[in-house]
A and B are shown apart, each in its own frame.
Chain A
Amino acid sequence: MVTSLGLDSRKMAFWAFIGSECLLFTSLISTYLVYKGRSVVGPYPHEILNIPFTSVSTFDLLMSSLMMVLALAAVQRGDMRWGKIWLFSTALLGLVFLGGQVIEFTEFVHKGLTLQTNLFGCTFFVLTGTHGAHVSVGVLWLLTLWVRALQGKLTQANAMTVEITGLYWHFVDVVWIVIFTVVYLIQ
């Protein structure tokens, strides 16, 4: 379809959506920063955050973005065999990240940090939980594309769909880079 700006409408809508999501995460991250150091009881961030562990899951999520790039490239050149492989790998690495988050959350709860414990617990779980929810949606989306590809219903003609999925996935990844820096690295 010919459009006024020559851009695909779905892609433009998605960029607008990402702009909107930026405000969502900005609000969450700002709240985390405003409440930093204001908890009246422990556990405090430095006692509980496991940087090496989270570095590994951050690396995992970064690699999933690489897989996403490869998936899009494969679909764009019509190579659906590798397209399927890379789509599945992206989803798999996303699942690994989510698994890491489950392990991390469980460990924190065992160490006495829950949603209700203190302001650190509230802001940390709601911020990283919202991000985790976004990753979950992404995984579901990627697996849907993968199944469609297995059925032969996702082909080179649908490259734009994969590109938009990629936009979402990379955005969620970039948000994690910010969260990892703000929450874990700068304590």
Chain B
Amino acid sequence: MKSWLTTTDHKRIGLLYFFTAFAFFLIGGIEALVIRAQLAQPNGHLVTAETYNQLFTMHGTTMVFLALMPLSASFFNYIVPLQIGARDVAFPRLNAFSYWVFLLGGLFLNASWLVGPLFHAGTLNVAPDGGWFGYANLTERQFSPGPNIDFWLLGLQILGISSLAAGFNFIVTILNLRAPGMRMMRVPAFTWMTLVTQFLVITAFPVITVGLAFLMFDRFFGTHFYVHEAGATPILWQHLFWLFGHPEVYILILPAMGIVSDVLPTFARKPLFGYTVVVYSGVLIGFMGWGVWSHHMFSVGLGPIADSVFSATTMLIAVPTGVKIFNWIATLWGGDIRGTTALHFAVGFIAMFIIGGLSGVTHASPPADLQQTDTYYVVAHIHYVLFGGTIMGLFAGIYYWWPKMTGRLLSETLGKWHFWLQFIGMNLAFFPMHFIGLLGMPRRVYTYPPELGVADLNLVSTVGAFLIALSILVFLVNLLRTRTHGQRAGNDPWGGATLEWSIASPPPVYNFSVIPTVANRLPRWKTEHHEPMRDPPTTPPAPIHVPGGSWWPMLAALGLPILALAPLTHTLWLAFVGAAVLLAGIYLWAFEPFEA
């Protein structure tokens, strides 16, 4: 127990990220099921409008910040150091800090469901209710007087610190801890996409930090950053939010693209087609992701020039994305394909992401977008991209790397059941939303009248959502069953080309008994140009120093939610306690003898 609380081992932190994020994924999923149950019939009355507002806000916020990002982070943690031939990340204690801040931030945000009575309100009354993008000035104290939005903005500030810390850590890890010979153009595609993602994190998160800080000052200290009467414009919030928000979309999708770029070659037994182009397309997406944010704001009326520019950039960013899709298809073409569950999810990712990408391009046209804004069409689009895309990609990664992380193979039979149920479920759930939206059903409204003529489509969507839930249950059964009944994986159950497959599953604490020397992009494969590398010996020839654990990252992390409680409860002394805990954690951490 203590060894898990103080761990600085990237593999353990990766597992902690996985289980925590998956728990939040289940919570966000339950919220989605309640939403779909409410919308199954017209004039639904399962929940009130107020509860519904909290449900969709927490569903979006949870899935983006507490499920998808940290599930990607679990693979950054577990797989990246193995793929580059490193013994750990560059800053193991900072890594632990990122995890604890994420956990505490997630708990802080979700505590809002339960603590209503402390704020003289009922349970299920004070959870955030302003939508995941929390538009000002709706989120100002004047229009949202309760603690709901406070939970949201303070929770996101805490989570931002976690992402930023991890961002610096992984940039340095990938650039600086590569094994000898592992030149940048030999780095596996997943690690490359991790690198691009982290650059997006460290540049995008400061912007939302400032936007949230303004909102915080408005709500707690009476400033007027988003107050129209004082001469300010609430559009500032939209710019700051989407300047962060659009890169965030790529923060969510690029890791999944990286996973798919590693899974496909393994199961097609062919190198990734156009590796260089795939990598450069990812980098280009990273850059262009910064130039499209106002396509979320066409309905604001920014004028013909701004609309035209953002319309053009939005269409352009589809080009590098399309390039990747063609490269993935070309990787499969003529390959010796093995239809594993991981490959099913990877191919499912490509298919679903194409649909999501195409509906995304339809948003690029401002006149069309005006019809789609705030309707279920947008909900359909984001779910094709983030569920059909990111979640499918992440599951491809789970089925691919689970044997590496636990030493046991997940059941392929249950895996196929999981895949098909989820695939059919998601299309039933999200495809009708295109029509529901175009027929005029607005999003974020707790019910709809029968005259709108979308009752049947909504029922289909609800059935689909419960099928997805069933598929996740199958997955959980698979996980549990694998613990005891799973087939042993050995070093390399798939015949992978990259370094993580050259060592035991799960890897020993030091990862590589001898740091490998890399001579090419596919070190473990025999090609016409080279023989496969020799795997490192099972027992290390010389003793390896492994850094011990540390309590201080957790202590420092604990200071942040205490600091956040101060404004939430209007208690000044808590701010001093929080700052003292944070400082104590940082100082003990800095002066602790620790050799990475």
**A20-B205, A35-B231 known; A4 vs B221 contact (CB < 8 Å):** no
Given contacts A24-B210, A27-B206, A27-B240, contact A3 B169 (CB under 8 A): no
**Chain A residues positioned under 8 Å from B168 (CB to CB):** 13, 16-17, 20
Those of B133-168 within 8 Å (CB) of chain A: 164, 167-168
Bound CA span A12–B205, Å: 19
Contact with A along B184-210 (1 / 0, CB 8 A): 000000000000000000111111011
Contact call A16/B171, Cβ cutoff below 8 A: yes
**Whole-angstrom distance from the CB of B127 to the nearest CB of chain A?**
28
B211 at the interface (CB under 8 A from A): yes
| Contact partner, B203, options A3, A23, A35, A118, Cβ 8 Å | A23
A5 touches B175 (CB 8 A): yes
Instruction: Give 10 closest A-B pairs by Cβ, nearest first.
Output: A24-B206, A27-B210, A23-B206, A122-B223, A38-B231, A3-B176, A20-B202, A4-B178, A116-B222, A9-B90
A115 is an interface residue with CB less than 8 A from chain B = yes
A123 to B178 CA separation, bound complex (whole angstroms): 44
Given contacts A16-B172, A34-B236, A35-B236, 10 further A-B contacts (CB under 8 A): A4-B177, A16-B171, A20-B205, A28-B210, A31-B210, A35-B231, A38-B232, A115-B221, A121-B223, A126-B214
Minimum C-beta distance from B513 to chain A (A): 18
Interface flag for A128 (CB, 8 Å) = no
Residues of B within 8 Å of A4, CB to CB, are 175-178, 182
Q: Is B217 an interface residue (CB 8 A)?
A: yes
Query: Is B91 among interface residues, defined by CB-CB distance under 8 A?
Result: yes
* Contacts A20-B167, A27-B211 given; does A12 touch B177 at CB 8 Å: no
Q: A3-B177, A19-B203, A38-B232 are in contact. Are A126 and B167 (CB under 8 A)?
A: no
Cα distance A82–B541 in the bound complex, in angstroms: 47
Q: B225 touching A40 by the CB < 8 A rule?
A: no
A9 vs B91: C-alpha distance when bound (angstroms) = 9
The answer to whether A156 has its CB under 8 Å from any CB of chain B is: no
A40–B213 Cα gap in the complex (Å)?
A: 22
Chain B residues lying within 8 Å of A123, measured Cβ to Cβ, are 225
Do B202 and A19 have beta carbons less than 8 Å apart? Answer: yes
B230 within 8 A of A: yes
Chain A nearest CB: distance from B236 CB in Å?
7
User: Is B444 an interface residue, CB under 8 A from the partner?
Assistant: no
Asked if A23 contacts B223 (CB within 8 A), the reply is no
Asked whether, in the complex, the Cβ of A20 is within 8 Å of the Cβ of B206, the reply is yes
Q: Which of A1-32 contact B (CB under 8 A)?
A: 3-5, 7, 9, 12-13, 16-17, 19-21, 23-24, 27-28, 31
Q: Which of B289-305 contact A (CB under 8 A)?
A: none
Question: In whole Å, how far is A182's beta carbon from the nearest beta carbon of chain B?
Answer: 16
Contact B167 A5 (CB under 8 A): no
Measured in the bound complex, the distance between the Cα atoms of B168 and A9 in whole Å is 10
Interface membership of B224, Cβ < 8 A: yes
Q: Which residues of B contact A23 (CB under 8 A)?
A: 203-204, 206-207
Nearest-Cβ distance from residue A82 to partner chain B, whole angstroms:
24
- A135 CA to B272 CA, complexed, in Å: 49
Partner pick for A13 among B169, B182, B231, B240, CB 8 A cutoff: B169
* Contact for A31 among B175, B182, B225, B587, CB less than 8 A: B225
List 16 A–B pairs whose Cβ atoms lie within 8 Å, in order of A's numbering.
Answer: A3-B176, A4-B176, A4-B177, A4-B178, A12-B172, A13-B91, A16-B171, A20-B164, A20-B167, A23-B204, A24-B206, A24-B209, A31-B240, A118-B224, A122-B232, A126-B217
In the complex, what residues of B have CB within 8 A of residue A9's CB?
Answer: 90-91, 172, 176-177
| Shortest distance from the beta carbon of A125 to any chain B beta carbon, whole Å | 8
Closest B residue to A116 by CB, please name it: B222
Chain B residue total in the interface (Cβ 8 A): 38
8 A Cβ contacts from B568-596 to A: 587
In the complex, A123→B230 CA distance in Å? 12
Please tell me if the beta carbons of B203 and A119 are within 8 angstroms of each other in the complex. Answer: no
Given the interface pairs A35-B231, A126-B217, the reply to whether A27 lies near B207 with Cβ below 8 Å is: yes
Q: How far is the CB of A171 from chain B (nearest CB, A)?
A: 14
Given A4-B177, A116-B223, A122-B217, the answer on whether A35 and B232 have CB atoms closer than 8 Å is: yes
Closest to A130 in B: B213
Q: How far is the CB of A122 from chain B (nearest CB, A)?
A: 4
Best-buried of B210, B213, B222, B243 by chain A (most CB within 10 Å): B210
**A155 in the interface, Cβ–Cβ < 8 Å?**
no
At the interface, yes or no: A54 with Cβ under 8 Å from chain B? no
Contact A122 B225 (CB under 8 A): yes
Chain A CB within 10 Å — which of B204, B211, B221, B230 has the most?
B230
Contacts of B169 in A (CB 8 A): 13
Confirm or deny: A39 has a beta carbon within 8 angstroms of a beta carbon on chain B: yes
Docked pose: A39 CA to B243 CA in angstroms: 25
Mask of A33-48 contacts with B, CB within 8 angstroms, 1/0:
0110011100000000
In the bound assembly, the distance between CA atoms of A26 and B197 in angstroms comes to 21
Contact A115 B211 (CB under 8 A): no
CB-based contact A13/B90 at 8 Å: yes
Q: Are the C-beta atoms of B175 and A12 separated by less than 8 Å?
A: yes
Task: Name the A residues within 8 Å of B202 (CB-CB).
Answer: 16-17, 19-20
Q: What chain B residues lie within 8 Å of A7 (beta carbons)?
A: 176
Q: A154 to nearest B CB, angstroms?
A: 11
Supposing A20-B164, A27-B211 touch, asked if A40 and B230 sit within 8 A by C-beta, the answer is: yes
Instruction: Specify which of A3, A5, A28, A122 is in contact with B224 (CB 8 Å cutoff).
Output: A122
Residues of A within 8 A of B209 (CB): 24
Among candidates B171, B210, B211, B230, residue contacting A118 with C-beta atoms closer than 8 Å: B230
Q: Given the complex of chains A and B, what is the CA–CA distance between A20 and B169 in angstroms?
A: 13
Q: What is the CB-to-nearest-CB distance from A165 to chain B, in angstroms, rounded to a whole number?
A: 12
Tell me whether A31 and B236 are in contact in the complex, defined as CB-CB below 8 angstroms, given that A4-B175, A118-B224 are known contacts.
yes
Residue-wise, chain B 47-77 has the 8 Å CB interface mask toward A (1 for contact) of 0000000000000000000000000000000
B213 touches A126 (CB 8 A): yes
Within the complex, the shortest CB–CB distance from A24 to chain B, in Å, comes to 4
Query: Is B231 a contact partner of A40 (Cβ separation < 8 A)?
Result: yes
**A residues near B221, Cβ cutoff 8 Å:** 115-116
Chain B neighbourhood of A40, CB < 8 A: 229-231
Q: Is the CB of B172 within 8 A of A13?
A: yes
Find out whether the CB atom of A39 lies under 8 angstroms from the CB atom of B172.
no
- Complex Cα distance, B224 from A40, in Å, reads 11
